[in-house]
Amino acid sequence: MRSRGWEIAQKTQVWMEVGGYLLAAPLNVYLILCLLKSGLLHGNLKIMLINLSVTCIAFAWSRLIFHFDVFLQQAGFGPDNIACRKVQSISRLFYDSSCYMIAVSMFLVTTERAVATYFPKSYEQQRGIRKVTLAISFLRIRVASEEKLKMAALYIIRTEFTHIFSIFYQSVIFQWTLILCISIITFVQFKVTVDSCDPSTAPPSTSILYVHDLQQLVLAGIGAVGVILAGCFLTALLYFNIKRRKACDIGKLNLRYQYSENIATIRFLMPVTLIYSLVLSLVVMFFVLYHIERHSKDMDIVKLNVYEQGASSCGAWFGLLYPLICFLMHRPIRDKVEKDFSAISCAKKSSRPPARSTVIKSVSGDSLCFNNETSIYFDHLNVYWNSHPNAARQKNMKREPGRCRVFGRKKVDSSYTRSPSPTGVLTEVQ
């Protein structure tokens, strides 16, 4: 009965993981489209966030293919031994590569913000890799004498460090190639081998966790501590940028803008780092339980599968929460999401302002009805003026005799006329 409960827990975890990956994959695809069109992000950071989304997609598909092959195995297709199924081995390879790439991406995101903080002018204003400038710099080293070699090296460090950093940062293909090579080496070294494909010789799992659980536990623990330290480092960078922005005077508006952009970007990255640290903490917890059960006297295979499945399903929650955080925390991405889904939203907000109840009141403060309100309003106004005479107003309205109505000049009697004299002087004739 106890083993039956663990089997139900394993199946529940499988379906929850599959559902999480089915939701995470399209969300990350849409996030890539939003990142390609969004602004207020540096090119290097945008590339790394896109690479992180691609990694989450690869992670999801590797697990979905793995579960689909397990379903085919249970249905009777192919050998009934997981060590002899090539599809599961390939999915395991891409699964391990995706785990490594996510860790590398989170580390590079932190270092990218550190470089943007300490080199705000030369880094934030950069929009590409100046390969020609780098070539000229290396030529300077070749033609320089030994006395000037140190000076040339310092020149490159000061002026071209951010561009050298960008070359590594934007070489995503190189990163994937390196990660795949490491994954292949570890997969070949720790591969689970069997003498035959008979179902009786099938191992409980083909993962590296089953072969070297302590090694995986140590790596996961180091990763969790590293991500927590990265979060603390981002907090320190946030405080440093705020302090520097306050120190900028009015003559450094461009530098002040760069610090403001750094602050907004760091505040956007901190929830992503927090979620990743929580996910890694859960993975470490499952690895500890796996290690304890793996080396116990009465080892239960179902419990091992539950713990391993729980550690693998943590990637689904990170792949699901990461795009949601980007949609909520980054303003340009949030605006694009609202623009894209406003046309198909059932609760679409009207562009016209809400209707307001109009109440017409008289001068005395009485509310007027809406039946012939114009005449009623002026009738009330007439009653008010007649019942509250103003002596000063009536005195000012009385016009003195001999004054013009408009300009207040004296009236000219009609009996007096002006005619030109022979000498050219105007004379009055009565």
What single string gives the DSSP state of each residue in 169-215? HH-HHHHHHHHHHHHHHHHHHT----SS--GGG--S--SHHHH-HHH
From 45, 87, 37, 103, select the one nearest 335 (Cα to Cα): 37
Which residue type sits at 32? I
Distance CA 112, CA 52 (A): 14
Find the distance separating the first CA and the last CA of the chain, reported in whole Å. 133
Q: What stretches in the chain show pLDDT beneath 70?
A: 1-3, 40, 122-170, 250-251, 343-365, 368-373, 388-430
* pLDDT for the residue numbered 150: 59
Closest CA to 49 of 314, 261, 268, 277: 268
29-57: burial string, b at 16+ Cβ within 10 Å, e else: ebbbebbeebeebbebbebbbbbbbbbbb
CB distance 43 to 164 below 8 Å: no
Amino acid at the residue 259: Y
Residues contacting 282, CB < 8 A, separation 6+: 310, 311, 314
**Do residues 320 and 17 lie in contact, with contact meaning Cβ atoms separated by under 8 Å?**
no
Partner residues linked to 82 by β-bridges: none
Q: How far apart are CA 3 and CA 302, in angstroms?
A: 7
Task: Name which of 206, 208, 193 is nearest 82 in CA terms.
Answer: 206
Residue 383: the pLDDT is: 78
Amino acid at residue number 405: R
Is the domain spanning 18-194+203-340 CATH 1.20.1070.10? The answer is yes
The predicted pLDDT at position 133 comes to 43
From CA 1, how far away is CA 302, in angstroms rounded?
13
Q: How far is Cα 207 from Cα 190, in angstroms, rounded to an integer?
A: 9
